[in-house]
């Protein structure tokens, strides 16, 4: 498999500080960016969350103290994910088998400079991800008719943002901000489809190409396995670059109350491409691997609208709230995969997702005493995934979150932020072709612990 360079900035920073990412998420987007937001239920639209504000509402950068700040952070996530076969009672746990899928470490790094009415910033922030690792011996690795294949079932999606942000204080009440992001997205995938799933895709017009009659011509087809995975801390089996960005504003209703509005645009990322192997699984002919190139087309992160408010109750207490609308419906209709074998034959597959738009409510509070600031929060979101299109390798179904954390100010120029975020266990069933062969029940919960350091100068 050819080695692809991701660029000196991305590879250099992440190879030193990270493993690939999966943090507590709404589908594939992280609940909060930075430990301040993460400890307050993901709210970040109308108060100072530090340099990570450039990922939600860049106008909040003007709420930071004047001068320069350097921020370095890390979140580590421990997932609890299991897939149950409702026919047999077997359970496939997603574990730390291999391929860098857990525990997951998410790095962040940023620099900001605030002088007068203008604040500038740049950073590196993972925006979202998902990861599963079921190994090669669970019921997910059995083809139609109970045929054991020994083939992997796993996934790893990582989306990385490199924002360049600016915030400008128009007057003593109104501040506007914007960011332009370079984006990198990488995907590892090992997926076995049973013969009934393949047949359902063909019958519904979701599988086409010159390889379709080849598969149909095998004497006893039991399934097809698609694999494009790199066992590497950063690089993925298929990847691509693109752009994104957001605009925002804050408005000081009074000296104690701030309103915020921000809109993150849907990404424009090129088709992810890489080397891949399509393996036909036949009861008589055995496993027939075909090597070639894969394209995952138009796999985008959704637009998001945030409305927020913060209120300084007194010298110690602050309360905050965000309401968000996340536009998954337009961004995530299908997983559109194209495979071209080295022989020139091809197959195009559309795995249906049909995500729904989400509404999210984030609530948080902070209490400051001396050098300590204590924080807590919660978040509730509507469900974006549909049970009839649930995929075992893309099971981000959690909808209820609780968080806590603190900051400690070592000196006027140095502080540390700590956050903990928990997603309560969520269950969802799917017994519908083509995305599953056996009827399954997904159970998913996660915990994330984050640490950040900020130095002012």
Could you give phi then psi for residue 19, rounded to 5 degrees? -115, 165
Residue 43, judged by CB atoms within 10 A of its CB (0-12, 13-18, 19+), counts as buried
Model pLDDT for residues 370-383, shown as the tens digit of each residue = 999 999 999 999 99
Q: Can you say whether the dihedral through the CA atoms of 10, 12, 13, 14 is positive or negative?
A: positive
Q: How confident is the model at residue 25 (pLDDT cuts 50, 70, 90)?
A: low
Residue 421: its pLDDT value, please? Answer: 94
Model pLDDT for residues 48-103, shown as the tens digit of each residue = 999 999 999 999 999 999 999 999 999 888 888 999 999 999 999 987 555 556 67
Least confident of 11-15, 174-178, 293-297, 409-413: 11-15
Give me the percent of the chain exceeding a pLDDT of 90. Answer: 83
Residue 234: its pLDDT value, please? Answer: 74
Residue 98: its pLDDT value, please? Answer: 53
Least confident of 5-9, 29-33, 268-272, 388-392: 5-9
Q: How confident is the model at residue 282 (pLDDT cuts 50, 70, 90)?
A: very high
Residue 382: its pLDDT value, please? Answer: 97
Q: Across residues 424-430, what is the average pLDDT?
A: 96
Structure tokens at 173: 């009440």
Cβ atoms of residues 198 and 207 within 8 Å:
yes
Cβ atoms of residues 444 and 77 within 8 Å:
no
Model pLDDT for residues 108-152, shown as the tens digit of each residue = 999 999 999 999 999 999 988 878 899 999 999 999 999 999 999
Q: How confident is the model at residue 21 (pLDDT cuts 50, 70, 90)?
A: very low
Residue 17: its pLDDT value, please? Answer: 35
* Euclidean distance between CA atoms 319 and 323, whole angstroms: 14
Give the Å distances, CA to CA, from 196 to 201, 203, 433, 436.
9, 10, 8, 9
Position 349 pLDDT exceeds 60:
yes
- 16 contact partners, CB below 8 Å, separation of at least 6: none
Bridge partners (DSSP) of residue 418 are 406, 451
* Euclidean distance between CA atoms 379 and 324, whole angstroms: 11
Could you give phi then psi for residue 37, rounded to 5 degrees? -65, -40
Strand ranges inside 86-135, DSSP E: 91-93, 104-115, 118-133
What is the number of other CB atoms lying within 10 angstroms of the CB of residue 72? Answer: 15
Model pLDDT for residues 220-262, shown as the tens digit of each residue = 999 999 999 988 877 899 999 999 999 999 999 999 999 999 9
Report the CATH architecture of 8-456. Beta Barrel (2.40)
């Amino acid at each position: 498999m050819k080695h692809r360079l991701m660029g000196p900035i991305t590879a250099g920073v992440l190879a030193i500080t990270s493993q690939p990412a999966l943090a507590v998420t709404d589908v594939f987007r992280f609940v909060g960016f930075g430990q301040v937001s993460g400890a307050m239920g993901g709210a970040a639209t109308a108060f100072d969350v530090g340099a990570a504000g450039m990922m939600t509402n860049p106008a909040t950068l003007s709420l930071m103290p004047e001068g320069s700040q350097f921020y370095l952070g890390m979140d580590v996530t421990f997932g609890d994910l299991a897939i149950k076969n409702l026919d047999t009672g077997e359970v496939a746990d997603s574990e730390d088998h291999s391929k860098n899928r857990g525990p997951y470490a998410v790095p962040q790094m940023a620099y900001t400079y605030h002088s007068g009415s203008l604040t500038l910033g740049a950073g590196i922030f993972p925006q979202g991800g998902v990861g599963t690792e079921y190994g090669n011996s669970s019921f997910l690795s059995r083809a139609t008719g109970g045929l054991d294949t020994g083939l992997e079932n796993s996934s790893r999606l990582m989306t990385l943002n490199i924002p360049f942000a600016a915030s400008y204080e128009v007057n003593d009440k109104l501040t506007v901000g914007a960011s332009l992001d370079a984006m990198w997205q990488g995907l590892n995938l090992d997926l076995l489809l049973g013969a009934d799933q393949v047949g359902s895709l063909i019958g519904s017009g979701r599988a086409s190409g010159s390889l379709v009659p080849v598969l149909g011509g095998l004497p006893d087809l039991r399934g097809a396995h698609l694999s494009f995975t790199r066992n590497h801390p950063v690089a993925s089996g298929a990847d691509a670059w693109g752009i994104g960005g957001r605009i925002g504003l804050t408005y000081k209703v009074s000296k104690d109350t701030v309103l915020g509005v921000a809109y993150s645009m849907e990404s424009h990322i090129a088709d992810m491409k890489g080397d891949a192997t399509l393996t036909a699984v036949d009861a008589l002919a055995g496993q027939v691997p075909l090597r070639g190139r894969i394209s995952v087309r138009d796999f985008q992160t959704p637009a998001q609208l945030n409305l927020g408010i913060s209120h300084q109750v007194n010298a110690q207490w602050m309360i905050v709230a965000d309401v968000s609308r996340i536009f998954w419906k337009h961004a995530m209709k299908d997983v559109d995969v194209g495979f071209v074998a080295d022989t020139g034959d091809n197959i195009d597959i559309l795995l249906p997702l049909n995500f729904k738009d989400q509404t999210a409510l984030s609530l948080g509070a902070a209490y400051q005493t001396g050098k300590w600031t204590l924080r807590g929060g919660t978040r509730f979101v509507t469900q974006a995934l549909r049970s009839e299109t649930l995929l075992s390798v893309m099971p981000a179904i959690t909808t209820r979150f609780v968080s806590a954390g603190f900051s400690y100010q070592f000196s006027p120029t140095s502080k540390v932020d700590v956050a903990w975020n928990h997603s309560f266990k969520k269950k969802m069933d799917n017994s519908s072709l083509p995305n599953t062969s056996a009827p399954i029940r997904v159970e998913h919960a996660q915990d994330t612990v984050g640490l950040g350091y900020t130095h002012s100068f």
